[in-house]
Structure 1
């Protein structure tokens, strides 16, 4: 089917398609970090978890010829990284941030070492659902190709919002995140709760990595992440530790990331490469604009390292 010239309408259309594609790993990583931080622990190691999940998912998908098994493998790899991080951090005097940086370097190193044989082989892609069937314009059909993990991420954001507000599990995580002493007075084990929250958060980051290698861009290489795991920290703070806001913040970041290619599609080439910095500039600007001495940590769990 031939491409149709739709003029300036191509810009918002390309931004929409880019927001859907680019935001998906951010959704999973930020939701995982949101859960971890709501329990009172920060995990800076999610960049390494994301990269190792991308490698693990791609390798298993190639060996089994199944993208589904690849996603499961990535989630399991992320779970292991999260559990190791959580187990180490339970010891007295251990700093969450320092351990997170160490885990990030470990994850990236292991991914680069074990992933070398899988740079060239081609693994199966994750399926996508076409929501552009109603249009005969190729650009519309391409923009509305939605991966199943994006839809799963949206449902997960809704579920986590409900969980924190209306379930016993959500209440336990919130209590542990706000006061270790209060949690112990209620008969809870804060170390166990944080261990599980960090493990599940790591599993979600692993799924985000599988999306990168198995759908967009859809290959395994050592530069696949570009710091997306680290950006989750900024997204969670900007979202005020709300799962629903994490979803919208990830979409906003994804749209900013698609701005450069969208402008190029209508012939704007002046300073094209500068637009690649748009997501990072936008995130920094939003954090500055929404922060103040009164509200900078509004909504933050009181046991979080950032608040101490």
Structure 2
């Protein structure tokens, strides 16, 4: 059966499938960055963390034959980068945005250097669940083949929302993010809380990177990431630091990214590159709509420098 056999019905189907696949790294990175920013710190180095996670996951999966071990190692590598970011930012008169950009460049360069031997080898991919078993159409089966990491991310979003509102750690995180002075008065160390939050954000970014190399596109090369890490920061602002909104925003961005290939699959080639630019236009619109010189952004942590 050829690719256009179901006609224009293939467009929403392809957008749905693309939204799920492409949104997965955005979902993990944005959830982790949401936790980091809730503590009052922004980490712009997530692009480097994402790529380091992708490289380390692919290398470990290739050497051990276990993709899940690769995911774990990617998370640990991300944790190290998060702790490095937090440690440097704890020094006097250090700007967290400048540190993030420096670590983004460092992580990207280090991953490309260490990952050169991994360009040719083939590592095992992460498993997926075939929710399209009921259909005889190959397109439907392919669209409903959902990776395990996406399901984990969907589960984590409401869990994070509940934890932020109903647990002691969530309360501490919000207090530190809203007022360092109030946190100190209550006996909490803002630097310690931000260290843990930034390390956790790095862990999530590393796991998000493992999806790129171990499932979609499922290989390691220097063009693997196209700004997912830095875009996720914009998604967090657009989501108003709400985990469930991070899920919807990631799916929206994933769907926009899938628009061009979906239209091309039914023969629409005019304006193909313009459609491929849709996610980046969407990012600009998100930043414009989220900006304001007259009011504080709803839901923004009081200590977050980019919202002041």
TM-score range, shorter chain: over 0.9
Query: What is the TM-score when the length of structure 2 is the normalising length?
Result: 0.97
Return the alpha-carbon distance in structure 1 between the equivalents of residues 294 and 142 of structure 2.
Answer: 44
* 1:115-194 to 2 correspondences below 5 Å: 115-194=115-194
Give the Å deviation of 1:70. 0.4
**Structure 1, residues 200-237: CA drift from partner, whole Å, max 9, x if none?**
00000000000000000000011111111000111001
| Contact 2:4-2:265 within 8 A present in 1 as well | no
Match of 2:111 in 1: 111
Aligned to 2:251: 251
Please give the TM-score of this superposition, normalised by the length of structure 1: 0.97
* CA–CA separation in structure 2 for the residues paired with 1:152 and 1:52: 21
The corresponding residue for 1:240 is: 240
**Whole-Å Cα distance in 1 between the matches of residues 49 and 291 of structure 2?**
29
Matches within 5 A, 1:48-63: 48-63=48-63
Is contact 1:55-1:210 (8 Å) kept?
yes
Give the SS at the match of 1:62. Answer: helix
Report the Cα distance in structure 1 between the residues aligned to 2:168 and 2:229, rounded to whole angstroms.
29
Distance 1:79 1:292 in 2: 33
Q: Is the 8 A contact 2:3 2:265 kept in 1?
A: no
Counterpart CA distance in 1 for 2:175 and 2:9 is 48
CA distance in 1, matches of 2:110, 2:189: 32
CA RMSD of aligned residues (A): 1.3
Q: Distance in 2 between matches of 1:263 and 1:2?
A: 15
Give, in whole Å, the separation in 1 of the partners of 2:25 and 2:50: 9
CA gap 1:293/1:19 in 2 versus in 1, 3 angstroms? same
2:226 alignment partner in structure 1: 226
Aligned residue for 2:129, secondary structure, equals strand
What is the Cα deviation at residue 254 of structure 1? 0.2
Query: In the TM superposition, what is the alpha-carbon distance from 1:274 to its structure 2 partner?
Result: 1.7
Structure 2: which 5+ residue stretches go unaligned?
A: none
Q: 2:136, 2:127 → 1: CA distance?
A: 21
* In 1: Cα distance, 2:287 partner to 2:61 partner: 38
Shift of 1:94: 0.7
Contact 2:50–2:206 (Cα < 8 Å) also in 1: yes
Question: Does residue 199 in structure 1 map to residue 195 in structure 2?
Answer: no
In the TM superposition, what whole-angstrom CA distance separates every residue of 1:245-304 from its partner, at most 9, and x where no partner exists?
A: 011000000000000010011110112122111001122223434544455622110101
Partner secondary structure for residue 231 of structure 1: helix
Distance in structure 1 (CA, Å) of the matches to 2:59 and 2:255: 29
Q: CA deviation at 1:133?
A: 1.0
3-state SS in 1 of match to 2:5: coil
Q: Determine the structure 1 residue equivalent to 2:213.
A: 213
Q: Is the Cα contact below 8 Å between 1:4 and 1:138 reproduced in 2?
A: no
Cα distance between partner residues in 2 of 1:178 and 1:79:
24
How far apart, CA to CA, are the structure 2 residues paired with 1:3 and 1:249? 29
8 Å CA contact 1:2, 1:138 repeated in 2: no
**Distance in 1 between residues matched to 2:307 and 2:275, nearest whole Å:** 33
Cα distance in 1 between the residues matched to 2:295 and 2:34: 18
Aligned residues: 308
1:195 CA displacement: 0.1
